[in-house]
Amino acid sequence: MAVSKSNKKKLSYISVPSQIINSISSTSFESLLLYPKKKVQSSPFSSSKFRLLWKNSRFWLFLLLIFGFFGMLKMFFNADPLIPFAPNPCAILEEKSMVSNGFSSSQLSVVQNGEKIGGNDEESGDVKRNEFWKQPDGLGYRPCLEFSNEYKKASVDVVKDRTKYLMVVAAGGMNHEFSDIFDLEHFKKVLENDVRIVSSLPSTHVMTRPLEEKLTPLHATPEWIRSRYSRRIRRDGVLLLRSLDSRLAKDLPSDLQKLRCKVAFHALRFAPSILELGNKLTERMRSKGLYLALHLRMEKDLWVRTGCLPGLSHEYDEMINNERKQTPELLTSRSNMTYYERKLAGLCPLNALEVARLLKALGTPKTARIFWAGGNPLGGKEALQPITREFPNFYNKQDLALPGELEPFQKKASLMAAVDYIISENSDVFMPSHGGNMGHAIQGHRAYAGHKKTITPNKRQMFSHFMNSSLPEAEFNRIILGMHQDSLGQLELRSNKAGRDVTKYPLPECMCNKMQPHSSL
């Protein structure tokens, strides 16, 4: 409201949405503001009451408010309630213009269970791209943890025992802050018939100095552990073990393999606050259809530890080489191999350019929505440009979260990794750029859930083709696609190769199909 200095008349201003103004022609708009110059003939609708209403400014104010209200409703329901932000705001405007022209918002053609769903695909002529989202056939295999009677009987004695306690120190990854990341009470409840878990030693044992064992060999068998520690733990009551989590043999008796699956896939559940946020961001990612999750391993320390080079520029390569010379102990293994030899052996992480070329060769639609998990890559966002140029719908948890949602987790890398884990495990397609505990755990979870599509890059075979600059793109794509036909999350027996971890390959120990015997595989 404004007041004139000359006559102090009150003037009212009405804010009208631009959509309404643009939808009204100039003639009809003038008719709302000007009185008609010519008298019209009387009609049933030109009564004195109607003329009074016509001249009443309150009537027009009410009418404009109604128009404005419905205009705002239209704008509200056309808005996306789940994805609050996008890395590129212009992309939202372009997307909305596509919708107004009759295209779907995601522009994806999806094939699921052999049927096409979704909108128009700009690459509909390429059958491989339409089949990118197709899931492998799990042949009806589902979780199956049936323990033997002998195991059940032994577990009863273990749970009742109050004389012997084993203290385990688990190191690395998300194990650092166990009770902060995982639901501890759920963990105890699920395993209550297998082993008794306590958060602290009883008073009868608290003064006992636990015997500590640091020299557990690699691939320690149950027989070795019993022969080494049974007498000690009976004598002292408490035994402290370190590094056992990474040194236990992968090939264990059937009941112990089932127990490992029970721990990994049932007992370990993220804390409620992490689970809530992870599921919330998953729904935002899924709000416009299927999505691919990438676990990108491009951090500085990874390039140093693997003995590989990021390939960003000569300056970055020199930075990594110099740091490796100063701290040679960080190199994980095979220190006598050159970078080129490591790359050909499949020991190096994929860089952004290689990830983009692999995804294109596998038929990933250009409009695919991609969630990327992992730490900050060496080189920042510029290092990711080869991927974002090919696949612009590229998000991480910071892009999906509302202001303040990530704040409770910001200072704890393990909690942030847990959020990444949830969104990646829930994705329609998952691909890691390198190995590692998190990628292996997600792969196992997805297999246990019914063999959801997981792409395992065949780095050993494909790097020679990446380095062949004379190879035409069409031929490169054909070769890469062919070598990954059996690496898309299909059924794979752990027993086909010795030393495989059951939590990565849960078949056949932890999964079964009662309608179909294992031998049919």
**Could you tell me which residue, 61 or 445, shows the higher pLDDT?**
445
Q: Is the pLDDT of residue 461 over 80?
A: yes
Neighbours of 298 (CB within 10 A): 24
Q: Is the pLDDT of residue 69 over 60?
A: no
Q: Is the pLDDT of residue 98 over 80?
A: no
The residues pairing with 244 across neighbouring beta strands, listed in sequence order, are: none
**Could you tell me which residue, 38 or 288, shows the higher pLDDT?**
288
Please tell me the distance from the alpha carbon of residue 255 to that of residue 151, in angstroms, as a whole number: 7
Q: Is the pLDDT of residue 359 over 90?
A: yes
* pLDDT value of position 433: 94
pLDDT in tens, 179-226: 889 999 999 999 999 999 998 888 888 766 776 766 778 888 999 989
Sign of the alpha-carbon torsion through 464, 361, 352, 297:
negative
Neighbours of 336 (CB within 10 A): 5
Tell me, what DSSP letter sits at residue 454?
Answer: B
* pLDDT value of position 496: 82
pLDDT range class, residue 91, cuts 50, 70, 90: very low
Please tell me the distance from the alpha carbon of residue 398 to that of residue 499, in angstroms, as a whole number: 38
Q: Is the pLDDT of residue 108 over 60?
A: no
pLDDT range class, residue 66, cuts 50, 70, 90: low
* pLDDT value of position 172: 56
Shortest CA distance to 342 belongs to which of 320, 313, 314?
320
pLDDT in tens, 360-384: 999 999 999 999 999 999 999 999 9
- Measured at the CA of 254, the angle between CA 250 and CA 259, to 5 degrees, comes to 80
Please tell me the distance from the alpha carbon of residue 494 to that of residue 218, in angstroms, as a whole number: 19
Place of tokens 């372009």: 94
Of 296-310, 328-342, 351-365, minimum mean pLDDT range: 328-342
Q: What is the pTM of this model?
A: 0.74
Residue 434 backbone dihedrals phi, psi, to 5 degrees: -155, 170
Going across the sheet that includes 369-373, the strands are 394-395, 369-373, 291-295, 429-432
* pLDDT value of position 134: 95
Burial class of residue 413, CB neighbours in 10 A (0-12, 13-18, 19+): middle
* pLDDT value of position 425: 97
Give me the mean pLDDT over the 412-423 stretch: 95
**Could you tell me which residue, 341 or 431, shows the higher pLDDT?**
431
Binning the chain into helix, strand and coil, the percentages to the nearest 5 are 45, 10, 45
pLDDT in tens, 254-269: 999 999 999 999 999 9
SS3 string, 272-321, reads HHHHHHHHHHHHHHHCCCCEEEEECCCCHHHHHHHCCCCCCCHHHHHHHH
Burial class of residue 293, CB neighbours in 10 A (0-12, 13-18, 19+): buried
pLDDT range class, residue 58, cuts 50, 70, 90: low
Q: Is the pLDDT of residue 29 over 90?
A: no
Range from 34-38, 100-104, 297-301, 497-501 that averages highest in pLDDT: 297-301
* Exposure b/e, 109-122, CB count within 10 A at least 16 = b: bbbeeeeeebbebe
On average, the pLDDT of the chain sits at 78
Please tell me the distance from the alpha carbon of residue 262 to that of residue 269, in angstroms, as a whole number: 11
* pLDDT value of position 28: 39
Burial class of residue 42, CB neighbours in 10 A (0-12, 13-18, 19+): exposed
pLDDT range class, residue 57, cuts 50, 70, 90: low
Q: Is the pLDDT of residue 351 over 50?
A: yes
pLDDT in tens, 111-143: 333 333 333 444 444 555 568 999 999 999 999
* pLDDT value of position 51: 54
* pLDDT value of position 336: 78
pLDDT range class, residue 55, cuts 50, 70, 90: low
Q: Is the pLDDT of residue 85 over 60?
A: no
How many residues does this entry show for the chain? 521
Give me the mean pLDDT over the 283-308 stretch: 94
Q: Is the pLDDT of residue 241 over 70?
A: yes
Give me the mean pLDDT over the 159-174 stretch: 80
Helix (H) or strand (E) holding 109: strand 109-112
